[in-house]
Structure 1
Amino acid sequence: VIDDTYNANPESMAAAIETLADTPVTNGARRIIVLGRMGELGPHAPAAHLKTGELAASKKLTVIAVGQGAEGIAAGAGDAPHFPDLDDAADWLSREAKAGDAVLFKGSRSATVEKVMNAAFPRNN
């Protein structure tokens, strides 16, 4: 579990995606990236979120978009789920994440993506 939930902008999202894509996993394990919205992007927000989802999908990551404002990430990633409710995202992760999966959490501070991480992986609190 990688906690990068404090802040997010297009450049730091791209860096997080690259970091997870380069993270070694064992046979059959997945690289899951849990992404919340990027704040303070103004009129550039829709395109930035779409591009972030596209980049994550191009790296063959399992993309999960969480919270209000993250719909564009899911759309950019293609078939990625979007969970407007953070508790629903945590429930999904609790069921679906397996031992050996690498999971990275990223989003703007206001997106409170850490709530998903803390609920899905309470041992990491």
Structure 2
Amino acid sequence: MRGRDYVAEPKPLPPGGGRSVTPDELTDRRARLEREFAELQFDLGGLAYEMAIRDHWRVDLLVRHAARLQTVDAELGGLERLARIDEGGAAGTCPNCDALYPRGAAFCSQCAHPLMR
């Protein structure tokens, strides 16, 4: 990660106990995840390249980096689904796990916490 310029990241959304999420917050969160995804992908490729030129493979490191990349990719996919579901953004955040949910959701898609009383 040396030698690359980093831009200040927007703060992640705090646990909101079901508070509304503005379209701007959704856009900021998506932009942050897109940057993080690109960096993780770059780092994974660099790690594989370094291992290849040294002919010394550490599969555990590759799997760990790939798992983090997959987690970010899944979160990014969830945000993109929410954006398609409702152009106005998400209805709020889960009070249990802070995952975004669309309007009309009865349960959180991440932890199955009930969202309606």
> Greater strand share, 1 or 2?
1
TM range (shorter): under 0.3
Which TM-score applies when normalising by structure 2? 0.25
Structure-1-length-normalised TM-score: 0.24
The structure with the larger Rg is 2
